[in-house]
Amino acid sequence: MTAVATVPEPPRTRRGAGTATTLLTAAALLVAVVASLAVGPRALPPSVVLDALTAFDPTNADHLVVTEVRLPRTLIGLLAGLALGPAGVLAQGLTRNPIAEPGILGLNTGAALAVVLAIGVLGIRSLTAYVWFGFLGAGLAAVVVAGVAGIGGRSASSPATLALAGAALTAGLGSVTTAVLLTDPDAFEDYRFWQVGSLAGRDLGIAGQAAPFVLAGLALALLCGPTLNALALGDDVARSFGRHVGRDRAVCGLALVVLAGAATAVAGPIAFVGLTVPHLVRALAGPDHRRLLPLAALAAPTLLLVADVVGRVVASPREVQVGIVTAVIGAPVFIWFVRRKRFVR
């Protein structure tokens, strides 16, 4: 009888430490949700926030602030974070590149170009419509990158080919987007608010549009943990354990496209979350992707909501959009990781 080889498991964290990390991250997310509902330019006591959620009075202005402004904003932040964290883990796992993120594969740029064309060519001015065009652009960009990289073809694609194809497409589509914006000032005015990355101005309808895609992509991503562990050993080693590398990469790539496309569509291209969060959770939980993916799904919305709350109060009564705050927070954190050489492949 022939013995069946199994993929060796990555080193695990100390017994109990992983559970404690997950519980602490979940608790931090809960605190961030409460802060997102309670903190803003209009000071509201916790009792009013609770009443707005449990005994809504449509004639009460404070209740309207909670249900019409802060609740949709919080849900958008949760959905975008649930998508961006695992998407970053998938991007780095698929490309075996520690600086990979959804943007490196051209997904954000594809979504941006689709939104610009929707504004400039079709005259669309609705955030609700932007969601679908953003998702369409990210999907088309993924198809082009996969085709150029040869995923699903007879010849095996490499992580480097995938990253290079994404970088080339990002440069090309970015040039087209810039050209359209330079020739259409009206499109630029509408596009710049979406492009900076924001949780503001979105309603529950947009959250409802994105939720099925985020949940489906998240479910598929969580199934990719063992696959990413095998791919981390290298394509040849993974094949020696019976893995179909091309199919595995295509399945996990589909999850990445769905998650990155949904996040970009609802909140715009938010930088550094998909890059920084995987490194943060990897430092806490080790290199096992079966633990990284769910932990990133908890940590990323926590970071997004905290950044959004900071943006509301740091320049009150005005606001700093979350895409700017995450970049300000994420850049020093990422540099700190680089300095400490905590990258774990």
What is the reported pLDDT for 2?
Answer: 46
CA 272 to chain centre: 9
Residue 183 lies in a domain: yes
191 has pLDDT over 80? no
Token code pair at residue 271: 């930088």
Number of domains in the chain: 1
- Whether the pLDDT of residue 94 is over 80: the answer is yes
Tokens standing for 326? 């995450």
In 45-122, where does DSSP find H-type helix? 46-54, 61-64, 71-95, 107-120
Residue 62 forms part of a structural domain: no
Per the domain annotation, does 17 fall within a domain? no
Domain membership of residue 205 (yes or no) is yes
Cα–Cα distance, 22 to 281 (Å, whole number): 10
d(CA 75, CA 122): 29
Binning pLDDT at 50, 70 and 90, where does residue 9 land?
low
pTM of the model: 0.82
* Residue 115 resides in a domain: yes
Percentage of the chain modeled with pLDDT above 70:
86
CATH number where 257 lies: 1.10.3470.10
Asked if the structure places residue 18 within a domain, the reply is no
C-alpha torsion angle, residues 33, 34, 36, 41 (rounded to 10): 180
Q: Would you state the pLDDT for residue 324?
A: 85
Lowest-confidence region among 1-5, 126-130, 237-241 = 1-5
Inside any domain, residue 49: no
Residues 6+ apart with CB under 8 A from 197: 267, 268, 269, 270, 271, 321, 322, 323, 324, 326
pLDDT at 344: 47
**88-102, 172-186, 250-264, 295-309: which has the highest mean pLDDT?**
295-309
Whether the per-residue pLDDT at 212 is higher than 60: the answer is yes
**Torsion angle of C-alpha atoms 119, 124, 126, 128, degrees rounded to 10:** -90
Q: Are 129 and 69 in contact (CB under 8 A)?
A: no
Output the pLDDT for position 222.
Answer: 94
- Which one is predicted more confidently, 313 or 27? 27
Could you tell me the residue range of the domain that residue 217 belongs to? 74-339
| Mean pLDDT value of segment 213-238 | 89
Is the residue at 100 inside a domain?
A: yes
- What's the pLDDT score for residue 190? 67
Evaluated on CA atoms 265, 267, 273, 275, the torsion sign reads positive
